Amino acid sequence: MKYTTLPNSEIKVSKICLGTMTWGNQNTEGEGHEQMDYAFEQGVNFFDTAEMYPVPANPETQGRTSKIIGTWFKKTGNRDKVVLASKIIGRSSDYSAHIRTTGLTSESIKEAIDKELQRLQTDYIDLYQIHWPERLTNTFGIRDYKHDPSDEWKDNFNEVLHALDEQIKTGKIRHIGMSNEKAWGTMRYLEESKIHKLPRMSTIQNAYSLINRVFEGDMAEVSIRENIGLLAYSPMAFGVLSGKYIKGIAGDDSRLKLYPRFARYSSEQSTEATKRYLKIAEDNNMTLAQMSLAFVNQQPFLTSNIIGASKMEQLKENIDSIDITLNENILEQINAVHAVIPNPAP
């Protein structure tokens, strides 16, 4: 395994992070434990969850993922050997109103952390993240920002940081991060932390893959110059970058067959780009999954690559990507495809 350091800390994290959002829905508790056992044995010391997991989110399953992690901690005694990340939902949406509707207030942040600690059977979370912005902006597959003057959101960056600071002082969380955030929001958080001597955002968890390199715009410069590490999610684009869908070998229990509404990475252009990337991988004696993950692993702004799998063979292949280095010739071929079909899945 290869390791990096959580920005602005001395915490060593594996460059592969174990994503968990299928546990409690597509995966049983036993399967979640098996994945954690294997990943831990391979040197993965970084796990990521969220209060709303598993996905798709609904009232019946909410929190199951973290409970599965909690029972593993209790069984193995490995809590102090794992860097644990979790998230709080932003302003209510159609898939999170069953959790809360109050937004990111001091009270809701405290309540969310306390409940998550109970589920996880621990007394601290190493990295606590805002799952998505509360303001209306272009998240979750929306290509461009279009201002909505009817948005009732009021600037609360300072309030959020003060609330998180309170929780850091209690010892319940150690470091903080963002998710699905944009350049403006990132810089606003940094501005508030600098001016008011509040905790500083350490990481940003955004989508990043061969077919979604939007992060390489303004966010890459912010990340590198401000030392905000990317935790890349969906590096396999919901399994599209395994090649199984274009090859017609995806099982009935595959993510997009179970949940066809998750079509963020399934456009005609995404499919064409995926076909071209598959040829590059096969011409260079790699699987598309290995090449896709190795590409993410090599980025200079990356802190950790969040991989997730519903099956053990997928998990093993994904973790093994850490041992692959793409040479300049392969990177040139990848960038040639990107030049023709840039970011088909924003």
Verify whether residue 265 is a known catalytic residue: no
Q: What is the DSSP letter of 61?
A: T
80: enclosing H helix or E strand? none
| Alpha-carbon distances of 219 from 207, 330, 336, 339, rounded to whole Å | 12, 24, 22, 19
Name the residue among 75, 64, 77, 78 with its Cα closest to residue 29. 64
Per annotation, catalytic residue among 3, 38, 53, 259: 53
**What three-state secondary structure class fits 279?**
helix
Q: What is the DSSP letter of 252?
A: T
CB atoms within 10 A of CB 141: 14
d(C-alpha 17, C-alpha 19), whole Å: 6
| Alpha-carbon distances of 99 from 25, 50, 61, 62, 154, rounded to whole Å | 17, 12, 11, 8, 21
Cis preceding linkage at 7, omega within 30? no
Name 332's Cβ contacts closer than 8 Å, sequence gap at least 6.
Answer: none
The residues annotated with a catalytic role in the active site are: 53
